[in-house]
A = this chain, B = another copy of it.
Amino acid sequence: MTQKSFQDYYPEQTALCYGCGRLNEHGLQIKSYWQGDEAVCVFQPHPYHTAIPGYVYGGLIASLIDCHSTGTAAAAMYKAEGREMGTEPAFRFVTGSLHVDFLRPTPLDDPLEVRATVKEIKGRKVIVSCTLYAKGEACAKGEVVAVQMPSNFGI
């Protein structure tokens, strides 16, 4: 049986996000999984996700960090409450703030790996720290303040 990603548990009405919605056929459809205490997302950029030829444009890096972090926030909240993902009521997070430091140009040809750790859970907020790697080198660092979405939002 294949392991389900965090995003596979999103309720249908919140699974349309361009970055992480499994139902958005135009989107990135990222998938995030626990590896121990880290949440990991691997994404293969398309050749047109370019900045300068050969390197990834910053907006994609920001998008991966953003959506991987909100997914990680949801998964962390289930874990903190000792609940299985997919149980009701569903957790879904939106981004309160996003910060990205671009450490070096990110090569475009290989898969990108975003590794996230949960820095803090505080009420309805989860702070997530990420590092994005390409070819094993850290190319960007990010921090997201994710905020639990009201259950009636967007419905």
Contacts and interface: CB of A to CB of B under 8 A. Distances in A.
A22 to B, nearest CB: 13
Contacts of A62: 59, 62-63, 66, 98, 100
B57 A19 contact: yes
A54 B52 CA distance: 32
Contacts of A49: 18
Copies in the complex: 2
Contact of A18 (B13, B48, B96): B48
Nearest to A63: B59
A122 interface: no
A4 interface: no
Contacts of A100: 62, 95, 97-99
Contacts of A149: 52
Contacts of A54: 154
A101 to B, nearest CB: 5
Interface string A33-66: 0000000000000101111111101111011101
Nearest to A59: B63
Given A59-B63, A62-B63, 5 more contacts: A17-B51, A21-B50, A55-B154, A58-B67, A62-B66
